[in-house]
Amino acid sequence: MVKDYSPLRTKGHKGVGLILAATLALLLYIFRGFFWSSSAVHSPAQVAVISRCRGLQMQPGPPDDFHDRSESDRFVPETRPHLIQNAKMWTGRNNGTEVFIGDILIDKGLIKGVGHFGTAALLKTYGSDLVVIDAKNAWVTPGIVDIHSHMGNGPAPILQGASDGNSPKGTIQPWLRSIDALHTHDESYPLSVAGGITTALILPGSGNAIGGQAFVIKLRKTAERSSTSMVLEPPFTVNSSFPDPTHPPRWRHMKHACGENPSLWYSSTRMDTMWAFREAYNTASQIKKQQDEYCSKALANEWDGLGEFPESLQWEALVDVVRGRVKVQIHCYEQVDLDGIVRLSNEFKFPVSAFHHAAEAYLVSDLIKKTYGPTPAIAIFATNARYKREAYRHSEFAPRILAENGMTVLMKSDHPVLNSRYLMYEAQQAYYYGLPENLAIASVTSNPAEVMGMGHRIGYIKEGWDADLVIWDSHPLALGATPIQVFIDGIPQLEDVYVVEKPKAFQYAPSVPNFDKEAQEAVKYEGLPPLEPAFVKTRPVVFVNVQSVLTPDASSIQEVFLAADDGALGTVVVENGQITCVGVCSMATDAMIIDLEAGSISPGLVTFGSPLGLEHIQSEPSTTDGTVYDPLSSKGVPEIVGGDGAIIRAADGLLFRTRDALLAYRAGVTSAVVAPTTPGIFAGLSGVFGGLGVSFSLGAAHKLERGAVLQEVTGVHMRVMQALPGPSVSTQIALLRRLLLRPVDGPSKEWFLKVTNGEIPLVVEVHGADIIASLILLKKEVENASGQTIQMTIVGATEAHLLAKELGEAGVGVILNPAKPFPFFWELHRLLAGPPTTEHTAVSALMVHNVTVALGVMETWDARNTRFEIAWASLASGGKMSKADVLALGSTNVAKLLGVKAPQKLTQDLVATRGGDLLSLNSKVVAVISASRGLVDLFTAFPGQ
């Protein structure tokens, strides 16, 4: 039912309340002598002390008359009023369940009204100044609120002159302030605004136990261009380190961290960190006690010998924490660390606003409820996990489990760890894995707003709230949801918007699959549920109610079956991992029947770009294959390994069935190509020389199993980047030229000759367009010398779109990694942002020039999301790609570009999805039909299994 709100403020009971309050205040004033001593006449200094002492008892929040405001403190004069008509609003009311269809009037930086407005009447009031936008029934949400961001503190691109996230000066630093390092030229601001982010809490890093004070900012540019002018409700003015005692204080914010990060940064232990906390809190508590004693004397007029108010500029912020006037945000993953903070908060009696990362929070809700004060919220990632020991037990089901346990769930970016432009994607994934729709949207809007103490002005679409709004091109929880317009303080942020047509179904929340059993198992096995599939080898498997079947052949992906309608769903029979019948088939009596409920069978996806298959836990060297020697470093490659002629095969280091590999497998990624790991960019080594890639099955248990290694050697992998700390880019290219034109004697010679003969590809990780241009010339130079065409693939390739034509002409293929661009380094910053900012994405721009394109992933945990990445790329290109082309982005093109021989019928793995196709949030991957291994792997229990 459509509800109607009056645009006029009705005072009603509130008016009566105000009169009562005013009367009471007057009485208190008249009889003030009865309430506190009126015998003394106070000196100005004493008046100041009394005011200060009374101020200490005030709790933070907006002034009582906050909602009487008719203009935002952030209003920018000249901003035109806007009327957004025909909006389908998620208001945030009623626990996030209210959807209201109507109009939103914004003016003076505020939402002036939500209802049904006659344009004529408004035009009378506002004249031609009023901008009328017909939202045509589009979804509108409050601006996205990110409770955990480092935007500005670690600006993109990373440059050593502005890396201000963690202080090296000690682990306890409550006196540091993120605003003092809030860079305004971070290239992320406009990108994240284009994703609908309007507000973020900027936290210091997690290298310190107490990293410092955090600040809430709005992401828009200000006329003043200053850091300070971005801050929302600053707790004190630029002239002071202290709140104005005559006003209710505003919320302050502070970052704490426990566990691995402070231990590693300060070469200490968890025990040291907890002592550092207790020592600091003891100091703050003692100062508070002195202040309270001082104030009780001052307020009792016992001035004799009282002296100065006991103040400490260094500790005042932590003193405010023990006064309960600071929202404390604590980076804390594991039970052991959460437990320590729960004890700390009870020992020193301070509340915790939220635990962040909190990978194990879903396993210990009862513990977290024992925190002093209100139960903290939990701010987490959706599927980003296992990158370190502490995150090993995180679960994609954590958001729903936490919600079921009555906890407030927030999705956060930790920007630039995740690009906050896609914070809504985190909510989409949380929703896919079972967080209810209302809570999923609340997790990035009203809930973080409340948790950061700003719920009185942001996070809702309500009259009187800040005019921070996002108009979406689809339901916000539909995959690929993209803003059409973003308002901050009533100011439209996007110019020249490119709007992409979305399928009609995308105007509704996807009807996501059921994961109840998986969620229960996550808890039962404390985050490590068994992931190995059950396989069927001896019986035929029959898939019924199949909507479509797509299979790859040597050159492309073919649709071999498509049901005309739901009444004509097909059947697929599989024996020994091979499809033996598609369409109308008879069934053997011993066959196992699997109902796909209008699902699909598609090619298995192929992942590349992360060390998947070479590591279990990224930051634990003892769980990984390690890195290769670096021939350009001063130590070089030991002679006994082959010296300058050495070449390393990734196949020799393969680790099967890592959790990330199994999770990817369960999400339809059947194989991976991985190259030897070069030293990381931050390792202080050149990291140019990779080695030989390998293609392997993600379903196999070990290397000796049938079909485990699909191709022992795929291509030769190298890297050329400015960001590498080793020798110059020109030196890196000189090395490549030398190896291609005059290969060094030794084991590598054979492989470089294969490259120059065009037998295997040279795969180069490179991002900058100028370096890509040099590589195109190098390719021509080598081809001219050898008379053969070489296969070159560039990986990373963030600036490749600038040379789309040249890459097309040179026949160089591209694997975009990351799939969605971000300016991590200088050489990536001429990225193509895609809609709503630019018409083209890198994928579509390259395809115009017939460049073979594929998508990669950067980190192993993300391999499981390949199906969503390719779907996203297709949605962002406006649905102009065929389904076969979309699937190729994550399967056949990846394989082809890396030198994996075209799949034969006997080796191609296929994926069965139930309830929809592989690209949809409606579907669940239920089986892999593995030709390479001669079996069907099942991921869920089926009757008769």
Ligand X SMILES: *[C@@H]1O[C@H](CO)[C@@H](O)[C@H](O)[C@H]1NC(C)=O
Q: 245: helix, coil or strand?
A: coil
Choice between 119 and 226, CB closer to ligand X: 226
| Residue 770: burial class (beta carbons within 10 Å; 0-12, 13-18, 19+) | middle
Provide, rounded to whole angstroms, the least separation between the CB of residue 783 and ligand X. Answer: 9
Residue 581, phi-psi category: left (phi > 0), alpha (psi -120 to 50), beta (remainder) = beta
Task: Give the range of 435-443, 466-474, 696-704, 830-838 binding ligand X by CB under 6 A.
Answer: 435-443
Q: How far is the CB of 865 from ligand X (least distance, A)?
A: 25
- Is position 784 an interface residue for ligand X (rule: CB under 6 A)? yes
Handedness of CA 780, 785, 791, 793 (dihedral sign): negative
In the complex, the smallest distance separating the C-beta of residue 786 from ligand X, rounded to whole angstroms, is 10
Minimum distance of ligand X from residue 781's CB (angstroms): 5
Measured over the CA atoms of residue 42, residue 44, residue 47 and residue 53, the dihedral's sign is negative
Q: How far is the CB of 851 from ligand X (least distance, A)?
A: 9
**The one segment of 356-364, 436-444, 499-507, 516-524 that binds ligand X by CB under 6 A:** 436-444
Among 781, 789, 902, 906, binds ligand X (CB under 6 A): 781
| Least Å from the CB of residue 784 to ligand X | 4
The answer to the question of residue 555 lying near ligand X (CB under 6 A) is no
Q: Which is nearer to ligand X, 273 or 446 (CB)?
A: 446
Smallest distance, Å, CB 401 to ligand X?
12
Q: Which is nearer to ligand X, 239 or 622 (CB)?
A: 239
Q: How far is the CB of 376 from ligand X (least distance, A)?
A: 18
Q: Establish if 850 lies at the interface with ligand X (CB under 6 A).
A: yes
> Could you tell me the end-to-end alpha-carbon distance of the chain, in angstroms, rounded to an integer?
46
Nearer to ligand X, 193 or 778 (CB): 778
Q: Which residues of 834-861 are buried (b: 16+ CB within 10 A; e: fewer)?
A: bbbbbbbbbbbbbbeeebbbbbbbbbbb
CB of 238 to ligand X, least distance (A): 6
Burial class (CB in 10 A: 0-12, 13-18, 19+), 64: exposed
**For 115, how many CA atoms within 13 A lie in the half-sphere containing its CB?**
13
Q: What tokens were used for 761? A: 């590809």
Q: Which of 438, 607, 798, 907 binds ligand X (CB under 6 A)?
A: 438
Closest CB to ligand X among 514 and 580? 514
For position 235 contacting ligand X by CB under 6 A, the verdict is no
Could you tell me the smallest distance in angstroms from the CB atom of residue 850 to ligand X?
A: 4
Site string for ligand X, 167-186 (x = CB under 6 A): --------------------
* 556 binds ligand X, rule: CB under 6 A: no
Instruction: Verify binding: residue 237, ligand X, rule CB under 6 A.
Output: yes
Residue of 573, 570, 574, 575 whose CA lies nearest to 600: 570
Give the 3-state secondary structure of residue 181.
helix
Report the nearest approach of ligand X to the CB of residue 846 (Å).
11
Query: CA 9 to CA 102: how far, in whole Å?
Result: 17
Choice between 177 and 659, CB closer to ligand X: 177
Measured in whole angstroms, the distance separating CA 154 from the mean position of its chain's CA atoms is 16
Q: Which lies closer to ligand X via its Cβ, residue 86 or residue 97?
A: 97
Cα dihedral: 769, 772, 776, 782 (round 10):
150
List 796, 808, 818, 836, residue binding ligand X (CB under 6 A) = 808
| Cβ(898)–Cβ(695) below 8 Å | yes
Amino acid (1-letter code) at residue 326: V
Both tokens of residue 718?
């190298």
Dist CA 642 CA 155 (whole Å): 41
Residue 436 touches ligand X, criterion: CB under 6 A: yes
Report, in Å, the least distance between residue 800 CB and ligand X.
15
In the bound complex, what is the minimum distance in angstroms from residue 436's beta carbon to ligand X? 4
Q: Read off the tokens for 415.
A: 């920007």
Q: Cβ 404 to ligand X, closest distance in Å?
A: 7
Which listed range, 76-84, 409-417, 431-439, 531-539, lies at the site for ligand X (CB under 6 A)?
431-439
- Which lies closer to ligand X via its Cβ, residue 211 or residue 808? 808
Nearer to ligand X, 237 or 789 (CB): 237
**Residue 336 or 734 with smaller CB distance to ligand X:** 734
The piece of 364-372, 432-440, 627-635, 755-763 that touches ligand X (CB under 6 A) is: 432-440
Closest by CA to 252, choosing from 262, 242, 260, 261, is 242
User: Using CB under 6 A, which of the segments 434-442, 505-513, 713-721, 856-864 binds ligand X?
Assistant: 434-442
Question: Does 811 sit near ligand X (CB under 6 A)?
Answer: no
Euclidean distance between CA atoms 767 and 825, whole angstroms: 9
State the amino acid at position 620 in one-letter form: E
Residues of this chain, 348-377, that bind ligand X according to CB under 6 A: none
Rounded Cα gap, residues 759 and 747, in angstroms: 17
Nearest to 477 by CA among 114, 922, 821, 881: 922
The per-residue DSSP string of 734-753 comes to: HHHHHHHHSPPSSHHHHHHH
849 binds ligand X (CB under 6 A): yes
Q: Give 740 or 918: the residue with its C-beta nearer to ligand X.
A: 740
If one asks whether residue 267 binds ligand X (CB under 6 A), the answer comes out as: no
CB closer to ligand X, 9 vs 849: 849
Nearest distance from C-beta of residue 924 to ligand X, angstroms? 21
Which distant-in-sequence residues (6+ apart) come within 8 Å of 503 by Cβ?
879
Tokens of residue 379, six digits: 């701010």
Does residue 788 belong to the site contacting ligand X (CB under 6 A)?
no
| Beta carbon of residue 378, minimum distance to ligand X (angstroms, whole number) | 15
Nearer to ligand X, 475 or 616 (CB): 475
Residue 296, by phi and psi: left (phi above 0), alpha (psi -120 to 50) or beta?
alpha
Of 10, 39, 128, 239, which one interacts with ligand X (CB under 6 A)? 239
Residue 660 DSSP one-character state:
H
# residues contacting ligand X (CB under 6 A) = 11
Cα dihedral sign for 610, 612, 618, 620? negative
Q: Which of 151, 321, 328, 439 binds ligand X (CB under 6 A)?
A: 439
* Residue 199 or 408 having the CB closest to ligand X: 408
The distance of closest approach from Cβ of residue 555 to ligand X in the complex, given in angstroms and rounded to an integer, is 13
Tokens of 820: 């969605």
Identity of residue 900: V
Closer of 548 and 756 to ligand X (Cβ): 756
Query: Which one of 14-22, 80-88, 433-441, 874-882 is the stretch in contact with ligand X (CB under 6 A)?
Result: 433-441
Complex with ligand X: residue 138 or 403, whichever CB lies closer? 403
For 681, the 3-state DSSP assignment is helix
Query: Which long-range contacts does 270-278 make (Cβ < 8 Å, 24+ apart)?
Result: 270/336, 270/337, 270/340, 273/171, 273/209, 274/340, 274/344, 276/171, 276/172, 276/209, 277/172, 277/209, 277/210, 277/340, 277/344, 278/344, 278/347, 278/348
Q: Which of residues 46-105 bind ligand X (CB under 6 A)?
A: 95
CB nearer ligand X, residue 403 or residue 910: 403
Nearest approach in angstroms of CB 847 to ligand X is 9
Nearer to ligand X, 116 or 849 (CB): 849
Asked if residues 512 and 431 have their Cβ atoms less than 8 Å apart, the reply is: yes
Binding site for ligand X (CB under 6 A): 95, 237, 239, 436, 438-439, 781, 784, 808, 849-850
